[in-house]
Structure 1
Amino acid sequence: MSNFIDTIREKAALYKLEKQLKKSPRNKKVHNLKTAQTAGILYDATQESNFLIVKELIRELKDNDIKPEALGFINKAKRDDNYIGDSTYSFACRKDFSFFYNIKKEAIQAFVDKPFNLLIVLVTEQPFAIDYLGQLSKAEFKVGKAGLDNELYDLMIELNANADVAELKKQITFYLNLLNNN
């Protein structure tokens, strides 16, 4: 029964999302690690090990003079006390969305509305909320794992079936360094 309800919720949210995206399309522009000045990172913070990988990515982005911000989605009804945000890190959980995935938290809406040069979606399996936030993002160039949502990404990274988030981060930074932006 719960799976049926989740399917209905997601279909309604996607319908609303489609209408919203038609009203305000994003400006697309190719960026690499040399041309980008800002970067947003969406990731699954349910597993704490992903946070360490995001910290490493943020350090690499700062080394490239890119101002990063990360939004971690915790696939739980409520955040634990060990998830404290600041100007670089913010967190969302299921209670931060309405039944049909309307955003209820200002920090999440601000992240989505920010026109980042890069949006890095650092997940190997994509919860609906991360896909939804990625679609809503006004980022100019979106990067993530191939096969999750082909309409979301401008650059898709193909990985082996058993690859983890650390491997995805490694491949994304490799290809963003390699990408020639004339």
Structure 2
Amino acid sequence: MILKVFKEKSNQKYINKLLSARHVAVSNTKMSTVGVILNTSEFSDFEAFRSFFKSLGLQQAKTKIIAFVEDSKDSNELWDTYFNPKDFGWKGKINNIDLQTFIDTKFDVLISFYKANHLELNLITALSNANFKVGLTNQDARLYDLMIDVKPNEFSVFKEELKKYLTVLNKL
């Protein structure tokens, strides 16, 4: 139990280091690749995101959705990739190859669709090489370039707001 607390402190310190060194350089290019991070305890409808991206004209091959589950027994085979707290080591080390691939992918837009303040979710958002990061309002505003204040169960409102802001920012 004590080691878990030290591990969390180590990872939080690593997140703070990443965010303080982050240089925001959002390009003006159109959106063609999108990554989504979900917390399954808040929202787990992958198909809602897939149909939304299809309506925006994005190919399914250009989108990647990953899900955070508290326990690996709760996973679903239909999901693209899922991860749990056991996939993280000390000082931000990632022990999951699929998760590391997601982080290293240079998405045009990353959507962090969770409201809860989970250390693991925040770490993935901070580590991501995405050009433009969108998230629901969270305790740490340094994680995102654009924050939309909706609850995870209000997906239709989120879709409208995201589409509106992406249009204004010339991403669509």
TM tier, smaller: 0.7 to 0.9
Aligned to 2:163: 173
Aligned to 1:121: 112
Which of 25, 28, 47 is matched with 1:28 structurally? 25
Cα displacement (A) at 1:5: 6.3
Q: Aligned in 2, Cα 1:165/1:42: closer, same or farther, shift over 3 Å?
A: farther
Structure number having the greater helix percentage: 2
Cα displacement (A) at 1:157: 1.3
- Equivalent residues in 2 for 1:12-161 (5 A)? 12-19=10-17, 28-30=25-27, 35-46=30-41, 49-61=44-56, 63-64=57-58, 67-76=62-71, 78-80=72-74, 82-85=76-79, 89-98=80-89, 101-159=92-150
Cα displacement (A) at 1:37: 1.6
Q: Distance in 2 between matches of 1:176 and 1:79?
A: 36
Q: Aligned in 2, Cα 1:40/1:147: closer, same or farther, shift over 3 Å?
A: same
Gaps of 5+ in 2: none
Q: Percent identity?
A: 25
Query: Quick check: 2:75–2:82 contact (8 Å CA) kept in 1?
Result: no
Count of matched residue positions in the alignment of Structure 1 and Structure 2: 169
SS for the counterpart of 1:75 is coil
Q: Distance in 1 between matches of 2:12 and 2:31?
A: 29
Query: Quick check: 1:144–1:172 contact (8 Å CA) kept in 2?
Result: no
